[in-house]
Amino acid sequence: MCESEDVTHAAQAVLAKNDGLAARLRADLARRRVSVVNLLSSPGSGKTELLAGVLARAVERGIPVAALTADLATENDARRLARSGAPVKQLLTDGLCHLEARQLGGHVANWLPPDTALLFVENVGNLVCPASYDLGETLRIVLMAVTEGADKPLKYPTAFGSAHLVVLTKTDLAEPADFDAAAFDAHVRQVNPGVEIVRSCARTGDGVDTVLERVLAVRDGAPVHRPPLAPHPHGHVHEDSGLPAGQVS
């Protein structure tokens, strides 16, 4: 067996182990009636600021919400998110470029407040590795800022192709960034036909209520968009799981 095959088999084994843990975590969270939202984006997309707004709005409405935020180092994001009034926990990955189900499971078991209905997980800033790891989430949201360029969905098809919802951030900078909104929409739908794209601006609050409403709808049993590369409860992203349209995979 050549070295490349060894690497492939090792990667498959790691993903298979993660998939099993994610499936058990998903079942446990379902029993506890906790909906998990996995937020993926590049560094600097503005997802922390948007999440802070969503958490604050949820707290204002009396919704039992909590957040885990992952970074390689520092607790800066946890401090920012805690200002919302929601319970927040920083998860340091010690150099790992993504979260895995075992890490999330440990924090759910040892930290998550018992009355939590919504758990937001801010994944490590990276559109590559996190896309392949199922966390047992109910909803996967992929975010991108207008400053990143309209072609990013084509460059990162696994991330955008596995999203249940796409959020475009920093829309107030679209004009100075010469952002081609029509091209972006077309590229998103090329890799994920039918997915909803929400426009947001954390500075003005645009899109914050929309994101929260979409999450609450899923919590209450609304049908979820089925992406072509849906995170599968028994495996990593797959082309076509064969599930009926609208079923969460």
CATH number of the domain that 99 lies in? Answer: 3.40.50.300
- Residue 241 belongs to some domain of the structure: no
Residues 179, 142: Cα–Cα separation, whole Å: 18
pLDDT < 50 regions, the chain? 233-249
- AA letter at 234: H
How far apart CA 101 and CA 22 sit, in angstroms, is: 5
SS3 string of 118-149? EEEEECCCCCCHHHHCCCCCCEEEEEEEHHHC
Asked if the structure places residue 242 within a domain, the reply is no
User: 249 in a domain, yes or no?
Assistant: no
pLDDT at position 97: 76
Q: Which two tokens stand for residue 117?
A: 């209905």
In order of 41, 72, 170, 183, the CA distances from 152 in angstroms are 11, 23, 15, 11
Taking a C-beta distance cutoff of 8 angstroms, is the pair 126, 152 a contact? Answer: no
Nearest residue to 164 (alpha-carbon basis) of 40, 18, 15: 40
Residue 183 is inside which H or E element, if any? helix 181-191
- Residue type (1 letter), 226: R
Please give the Cα distance from 217 to 35 (Å, whole number). Answer: 11
Q: Number of helices (H) and strands (E), helices first, in the chain?
A: 8, 7
Structurally, how many domains does the chain consist of?
1
Predicted local distance difference test score (pLDDT) of residue 137: 94
The whole model's pTM is what? Answer: 0.86
> Which domain range does residue 116 map to?
21-217
pLDDT at 103: 86
Assess if residue 142 is contained within a domain: yes
Within-domain flag for 230: no
Q: How far apart are CA 223 and CA 165, in angstroms?
A: 12
Looking at the domain assignment, is residue 76 inside a domain? yes
